[in-house]
Amino acid sequence: MDKFLQAAIDEAKKGLAAGGIPIGSVLVIDGEILGRGHNQRVQKGSTVLHAEMDCLENTGRIKAADYKRATLYSTLSPCDMCSGTVLLYGIPKVVIGENKTFCGPEEYVKSRGVQLDVVDDPECYQLMQSFIQTNPELWNEDIGE
């Protein structure tokens, strides 16, 4: 298991333990984790802090050149919002735990020059599946449905 994807999964589990939606994310630059985050819809009543957004917010203000050699890890395929944020900051690579539960605008993001690596990790998938079974309304709210 990729240690950075594992760190994103750890974030997802931290969110789950706090009653939240189990999606986690880390930002890696030059082989080091600069920021970590997880979905904050339940915990902070947030509509914008998806895992990737929380991760970037926790990373704080870094230089444009740093984003441009970063890799963003997420346990789930980034939605339109999080994909747009990747494009805004010119993050060149995203590692995605799984995209079966939900698949963001991956083709569009690739067409804008971003490399997307889909791991198809069973633990990422299982975390979401069991959460959605118990909390379908929360999940739908999180993706605007």
Site residues for its own copies per CB under 8 A: 41, 45-49, 53, 56-57, 59-62, 64, 67, 79-85, 87-90, 105, 108, 140-141, 143-145
The closest alpha carbon to 131, from 18, 25, 53, belongs to: 18
- Contacts of residue 108, Cβ cutoff 8 Å, sequence gap at least 6: 83
Count of beta carbons in the 10 Å neighbourhood of residue 19: 10
Nearer to its own copies, 54 or 121 (CB): 54
- Enumerate the active-site residues: 52
With b for 16 or more beta-carbon neighbours within 10 A and e for fewer, the 83-100 pattern comes to bbbbeebebeebbbbbbe
Shortest distance, position 34 Cβ to its own copies, whole Å = 12
- Contacts of residue 32, Cβ cutoff 8 Å, sequence gap at least 6: none
Shortest distance, position 64 Cβ to its own copies, whole Å = 5
Shortest distance, position 104 Cβ to its own copies, whole Å = 9
Nearer to its own copies, 17 or 143 (CB): 143
Nearer to its own copies, 51 or 121 (CB): 51
